[in-house]
Amino acid sequence: MGRIGSTAGLLAAAACFAFAQGPPGMPSAETIANADHYQPPKLTDYAAKLAQQPDMSGLWSIIQPPGAGAGPTFDPVNTFWPAQPARGEARFGPMPGTYLKNIPYTPEYQKKYRDFIEETKQGKSRDRFAACEPFGMPRMLAATPVPFDIVQTPDVMFWYNDYGRTERRIFLDGRPHPTEPTPTGGEGPTYSGHSVGHWDGNTLVVETVSMLPGWFDETPAPYSDKLSLRERIRLIDTNILEDQMTFTDPVAFEKPWVVTRYYRRSGRDPAATPGAAAPEPRIVRAYLNLDDRPCIPNVRIDENGFQVAILPQELEAQKAGKPGAKKPKGKKQ
């Protein structure tokens, strides 16, 4: 038994080493000698495919409806807002007691959500973002206080939320969702899930599965690991993007939940001149600067799933690599 285990371990180690080394073999001497004269293929055909897509590239900010309270919620139009902070007072998350009114939860999940809401009134939080876990999907779409990038290619689209430490890839090359193990593939659910899409005229239709269980927002509205998402994404004006999201969760929901959010493309119109008449709208593009600083958590998650502040001496111990320093747990929920 021990020998089998050891052999398996050696094989796994060998496989990892081989993967890390990359494809075997150096370029031939002839290839290296002719490098200065090599003419690489151009992106002509690839770019032509991209040219047929509506231009959704750029930096996008979520548009908040009038009357929205402090802290982003996933569906602010259908949110109950308790008394808000005094004018000018900083508030990064929703006020305790804030909740979404229209999620079609089962009785079991409705009770769970109400219990979570009561916990926020007691000063308790289950949100794991401060413990350095990514926003993930679907939270990055509607419950983030900062913009996100969209970068397009003909066969894959990248949505990147720098603040939320989340990168989403929407595959447009016709591949299906992985089926082994069903329906996740690979190593199972991930923060971003697995997204595949296709163009229906000017509308991008996207299906996402295999998302880790978590919260739609900080209220905290929960969903299970069976959540799936279908989106219809389109430009309704030069710099306005619409995303109609339909969520299905056979564990948490009694019926599909539909949420529509709007985004504004960030940046200054290069044709705009101060004091001049409003120019014809043009596509504007601005991109976030990559923030590659490490995330240092200021809370940890205790055995009951609540945030607990990390004391200054604990942070110092973590920086010094001292044994016994407490670290955040790795599960999303």
Report d(CA 165, CA 133) in Å as an integer: 8
Overall number of domains in the chain: 1
In a domain, 25, yes or no: no
On the question of pLDDT at 96 being above 70, the answer is yes
Q: Which tens digits make up the pLDDT trace of 318-327?
A: 666 655 555 4
In a domain, 299, yes or no: no
Detail the DSSP E strand segments found in the chain: 58-62, 79-80, 99-100, 148-152, 156-161, 166-171, 194-200, 203-209, 214-215, 222-223, 228-237, 240-248, 257-265, 299-301, 307-309
Q: Comparing 163-167, 193-197, 232-236, which segment has the lowest mean pLDDT?
A: 163-167
Q: Which domain holds residue 166?
A: 58-265
State residue 15's pLDDT score: 47
In a domain, 271, yes or no: no
In a domain, 62, yes or no: yes
Among 61, 72, 54, 77, CA closest to 238: 54
Report d(CA 249, CA 327) in Å as an integer: 32
Structural contact between residues 124 and 180, judged by C-beta atoms closer than 8 angstroms: no
Mean pLDDT, range 198-211, rounded to an integer = 97
Q: Which tens digits make up the pLDDT trace of 26-64?
A: 999 999 999 999 999 999 999 999 999 999 999 999 999
In a domain, 295, yes or no: no
On the question of pLDDT at 4 being above 90, the answer is no
On the question of pLDDT at 65 being above 80, the answer is yes
Mean pLDDT, range 76-88, rounded to an integer = 90
Predicted confidence band at 229 (pLDDT cuts at 50, 70, 90)? very high
In a domain, 157, yes or no: yes
The torsion of the CA quartet 42, 46, 51, 55, rounded to 10 degrees, works out to -110
Mean pLDDT of all residues in the chain? 85
What share of the chain has pLDDT > 90, as a percent?
A: 59
Highest mean pLDDT among 69-73, 186-190, 296-300: 69-73
In a domain, 17, yes or no: no
In a domain, 307, yes or no: no
Report d(CA 183, CA 190) in Å as an integer: 12
On the question of pLDDT at 7 being above 80, the answer is no
Q: Which tens digits make up the pLDDT trace of 135-192?
A: 999 999 999 988 999 999 999 999 999 888 899 999 999 999 988 765 555 668 999 9
Q: Please count the other Cβ atoms lying within 10 Å of the Cβ belonging to residue 249.
A: 24
